Structure 1
């Protein structure tokens, strides 16, 4: 069964999401997704043409659509009503062959044949009871396939707002686990070791860890609108992990 904490998180995301926000980010996400998240995920996944991929926690489905546009056979899983409905609407319009399934990642239904790769982008840190979700993702991957996930970097959470206030990054608690209340819903801080050790316990082999910085030219162009954006040049706000599932 889904934990009560996870049910609460899903409800938060479902009630805080607006149609306008989904429309605005429907093509390629927000600024950070366009310039940092998407390019890194696509590089880690490599050539996806003809591959069967799972977009775990797909939100409005924008990354599923990018993957399908590159020739992948995509299944997107999303627990919230509004985002899943929006993704399905776009599939009716675009007819890319994407299957969207509304489900909690901690208790996935039968999704058919194993996947060549699973991508879980900006999701695990938003799940209170996250370990069953990581396990479920890994269990859907074929032997030797890839599990790729992205997080807000546990060492540099709230980077932009902290930089705006202090012109530097400050952190007081790192080793503890705690809730970070956000404008839409909560994230949950855990040290990096929690994610990597869980990955190891599932038998996965680490292939690459990426901590990308923003291109200084992109930051310069965005500086007038977001003066603290240069923090993304100097410190990584996002963490990416690519792992091979055991054969």
Structure 2
């Protein structure tokens, strides 16, 4: 059981300073650029003309990648600071993205069902994650696709631990617990919790991706410890579909 509510987590994320929010680039950050984005887009499939929900869109970088590929994007983000930055960029670029402020566990009426929902690096930060996942699935049309990503529960703090010890150490996996963050906690849950929950919602898992970093990209970074992303997956991406 989480010690904080969704509302408290949202309030905490809303305190992110403007300079931190604006530090994201058009690909998000290094791990997203080299490990996440291409896999998310591949697993979502064809996007041109499709209606896509970006659930927990943050400052909107992935919503913009979706819109660049022809998707009709609705982006839901509860935190004030992140949504404000996303709307500021949308005013400049005019990509036609609809930004909505809402708790993912209590989605408002967003119109007709979606062809796809993406929820990237979000559920691990949501106290009431089961309700949020259920709302994402409920927003899909029959045969719709749900793609979500997480920090891999078996390899959290991969870079930090590898940099300290030269290998990875893990001594606590099966428990649920909060992990302190700069603004609000993330939550450790075993991977089976997410997989079993999506199955219980009537979805069929179509792919589980554990992306590894290209060794040359790691070498070119010049940053000691980046080789950990070659050896072990810091992230996991799951694709599932509703009954058609």
Tell me the TM-score normalized by structure 2. Answer: 0.97
Q: Secondary structure at the match of 1:63?
A: helix
Which residue number in structure 1 is paired with residue 6 of structure 2?
Answer: 6
Q: Residue by residue, what CA displacement relative to the aligned partner does 1:145-192 show, whole Å, maximum 9, x if unpaired?
A: 100000000110010111011111111110000011122321100001
Do 1:5 and 1:129's aligned partners in 2 also have CA atoms closer than 8 Å?
yes
Which residue number in structure 2 is paired with residue 29 of structure 1?
Answer: 28
Q: Which deviates more, 212-221 or 19-28?
A: 19-28
CA drift of 1:57 comes to 0.1
Which residue number in structure 1 is paired with residue 105 of structure 2?
Answer: 106
CA drift of 1:237 comes to 0.2
Q: Residue by residue, what CA displacement relative to the aligned partner does 1:50-83 show, whole Å, maximum 9, x if unpaired?
A: 0000000000001000100110000000000111
Do 1:211 and 1:239's aligned partners in 2 also have CA atoms closer than 8 Å?
yes
The yes-or-no answer on 1:232 pairing with 2:233 is no
Q: Secondary structure at the match of 1:157?
A: coil
CA drift of 1:13 comes to 1.2
Which residue number in structure 2 is paired with residue 61 of structure 1?
Answer: 60
Question: Matches of 2:76 and 2:41 in 1, distance apart?
Answer: 19
CA drift of 1:4 comes to 5.3
Q: Structure 2 stretches of 5 or more lacking a match? A: none
CA drift of 1:21 comes to 2.3
Which residue number in structure 2 is paired with residue 135 of structure 1?
Answer: 134
Q: Secondary structure at the match of 1:71?
A: coil
Q: Structure 1 stretches of 5 or more lacking a match? A: none
Do 2:21 and 2:81's aligned partners in 1 also have CA atoms closer than 8 Å?
no
Q: Secondary structure at the match of 1:228?
A: coil
Do 2:56 and 2:78's aligned partners in 1 also have CA atoms closer than 8 Å?
yes
Question: Matches of 2:211 and 2:188 in 1, distance apart?
Answer: 20
Question: Matches of 2:168 and 2:39 in 1, distance apart?
Answer: 23
The yes-or-no answer on 1:207 pairing with 2:225 is no
Q: Which deviates more, 195-204 or 4-13?
A: 4-13
Question: Matches of 1:4 and 1:138 in 2, distance apart?
Answer: 24
The yes-or-no answer on 1:218 pairing with 2:224 is no
CA drift of 1:140 comes to 0.2
CA drift of 1:88 comes to 0.9
Which residue number in structure 1 is paired with residue 187 of structure 2?
Answer: 188
Do 1:180 and 1:188's aligned partners in 2 also have CA atoms closer than 8 Å?
yes
Question: Matches of 1:246 and 1:132 in 2, distance apart?
Answer: 20
State the Cα RMSD in Å: 1.1
Which residue number in structure 2 is paired with residue 244 of structure 1?
Answer: 241
Do 1:26 and 1:60's aligned partners in 2 also have CA atoms closer than 8 Å?
no
CA drift of 1:23 comes to 2.1
Cα–Cα, structure 1 residues 188 and 4, in superposed 2: closer, same or farther, change >3 Å?
closer
Question: Matches of 1:87 and 1:177 in 2, distance apart?
Answer: 32
Q: Residue by residue, what CA displacement relative to the aligned partner does 1:113-171 show, whole Å, maximum 9, x if unpaired?
A: 00000000000011111100000000000000100000000110010111011111111
Q: Secondary structure at the match of 2:14?
A: helix
